[in-house]
Amino acid sequence: MKLNIAVLPGDGIGPEVIAQAEKVLKAIAMEFNHVFTFQHALVGASAIEKTGNPLPEETIDICEKADAILFGAIGNAAFDLDPYAKIRPEQGLLRLRKSLGLYTNIRPVIAYEDLLNKSSLKKKQISNTNILIYRELTGGIYFGEKKLSDDGNTASDICEYTRFEIERIAHLAFKAAQSRKRKLTLVDKANALESSRLWRRVVQEMAPQYPNVQLNFMYIDNAAMELILNPKQFDVILTENMFGDILSEEASVIVGSIGLLASASLGEKHAMFEPIHGAYSKAANKGVANPIASILAAAMLLDHFGLDDEAALIREGVDKSLKLHITTPDLNTKYDNITTTKVGDFIEDFINNPDETNLNFTNIHLGQSTII
């Protein structure tokens, strides 16, 4: 298969982790005789620095022409501390999602048996957690009208949703539930918000079209508690933009590190794949950033094109790296010399030689092995 992939590494740790994902995709292309081409483009604080614009025209153009987009992370501490800044790195990502119509954001939360002890939650509560979060990505409070009074003392963000926006993602979430444990939970705040009541009405009306899916409802405050109290009760969660942002970050506690969660952002014409974590500028260029979320985003990219064996091989490599503790410091207590690049190298090597890497790596003196 020929795929033209736009690569937007972004800010902070973005470039380091995305380099590993790109490396892994190149190994897959070699192994399976695909032709993947990669076109890099600027976004975020690094784009502001070079062009004054967090989403330069050239970047939109490259993304529009690409078959898929691999996105790193965005944000910069200087902007975080300046609430007066009019041009902000995050505008790059938000405009990109909006202009490409990426309205469905899918965030899988799967607990790895080998990592249960990395979570601050109890093992028995989290083992076998397997949740798919469907987060609406181009509507709601993020994109509603924003106002700031002339005296700077009053501000508002409107949370608006239309039936159309709710229906199109809800159909996808119902269908996802049908192919899983057939349970869909709509998370909202219908006891306080009109927009949430619209979500409830629309989703209730749709339910008869999916009679084999058990639909239930949960308020966001309660869901925030239930998610870490008893995550196994969830199968597919459907929710609006901001609730999905918050819940998915909370869900990373179940898995042991936010450095493990990947996501797909899909629209009618375009598809983008990204880790859910941010730019974490403090950790940039230290080799400590976990590249697994980006590598799993690359696997989701392959899923999207039906390249199932290819995606499965990446996931096998990830599983193996976790089993053998070939992981960055956010997860490792065993070795202290595993860098971002070494994790990428290990998974690349696994893809090139899945059989040879069955060697028992724990016996290899890490750092001297040619493999890592």
CB of 348 to ligand IPM, least distance (A): 26
In the chain, which residue ranges form alpha helices assigned H by DSSP? 14-32, 45-51, 57-65, 77-80, 89-99, 123-126, 163-178, 194-206, 220-229, 241-255, 292-304, 308-323, 340-352
Residue whose entry in the numeric block shows the structure tokens 């002890």: 117
- Closest Cα partner for 242 from 163, 135, 144, 147? 135
Q: Of 69 and 93, which has the nearer Cβ to ligand IPM?
A: 93
Structure tokens at 159: 């949370």
Query: What is the rounded distance in angstroms from the CA atom of residue 277 to the CA atom of residue 263?
Result: 10
Q: Of 245 and 348, which has the nearer Cβ to Mg ion?
A: 245
Query: What is the rounded distance in angstroms from the CA atom of residue 294 to the CA atom of residue 284?
Result: 15
Partner from ligand IPM, Mg ion, none binding residue 121, C-beta < 5-8 Å depending on class:
none
CB of 157 to ligand IPM, least distance (A): 13
Q: Does 55 bind ligand IPM (CB under 6 A)?
A: no
Q: Residue 56: how many CA atoms within 13 Å on its side-chain side? A: 17
Query: What is the rounded distance in angstroms from the CA atom of residue 233 to the CA atom of residue 138?
Result: 28
Q: Does 11 bind ligand IPM (CB under 6 A)?
A: no
Mask 229-248, x = binds Mg ion (CB under 5 A)? ----------------x---
Of the residues 43, 254, 276, 311, which one makes contact with ligand IPM according to CB under 6 A: 276
- From 88-96, 152-160, 324-332, 338-346, span contacting ligand IPM (CB under 6 A): 88-96
Q: Of 263 and 339, which has the nearer Cβ to ligand IPM?
A: 263
Q: Does 331 bind ligand IPM (CB under 6 A)?
A: no
CB of 277 to ligand IPM, least distance (A): 8
CB of 280 to Mg ion, least distance (A): 12
Q: Does 90 bind ligand IPM (CB under 6 A)?
A: yes
CB of 284 to Mg ion, least distance (A): 18
CB of 17 to Mg ion, least distance (A): 16
Distances in Å between the Cα of 277 and the Cα atoms of 101, 291, 297 are 21, 11, 12
Of the residues 19, 55, 69, 93, which one makes contact with ligand IPM according to CB under 6 A: 93
Residue 131's contacts (CB-CB under 8 Å, 6 or more residues apart) are 108, 109, 110, 231, 234, 235, 236, 237, 251
Q: How are the residues of the chain apportioned to helix, strand and coil, as percentages rounded to the nearest 5? A: 50, 20, 35
Q: Of 22 and 245, which has the nearer Cβ to Mg ion?
A: 245
Q: Does 136 bind Mg ion (CB under 5 A)?
A: no
CB of 218 to ligand IPM, least distance (A): 20
CB of 279 to ligand IPM, least distance (A): 8
Residue whose entry in the numeric block shows the structure tokens 């028995």: 124
Q: Residue 194: how many CA atoms within 13 Å on its side-chain side? A: 5
- From 59-67, 90-98, 116-124, 161-169, span contacting ligand IPM (CB under 6 A): 90-98
Distances in Å between the Cα of 75 and the Cα atoms of 13, 26, 37, 268, 335 are 10, 27, 27, 27, 30
Q: Does 240 bind ligand IPM (CB under 6 A)?
A: no
Q: How far is CA 245 from the centre of its chain?
A: 10
> Do 173 and 184 form a contact (C-beta atoms < 8 A)?
yes
Of the residues 136, 235, 245, 310, which one makes contact with ligand IPM according to CB under 6 A: 245
Q: Of 289 and 372, which has the nearer Cβ to ligand IPM?
A: 289
Q: Helix, strand, or coil here: 12? A: coil
**Could you list the residues that contact Mg ion (CB under 5 A)?**
245
**Could you list the residues that contact ligand IPM (CB under 6 A)?**
74-75, 90, 93-94, 245, 276, 278
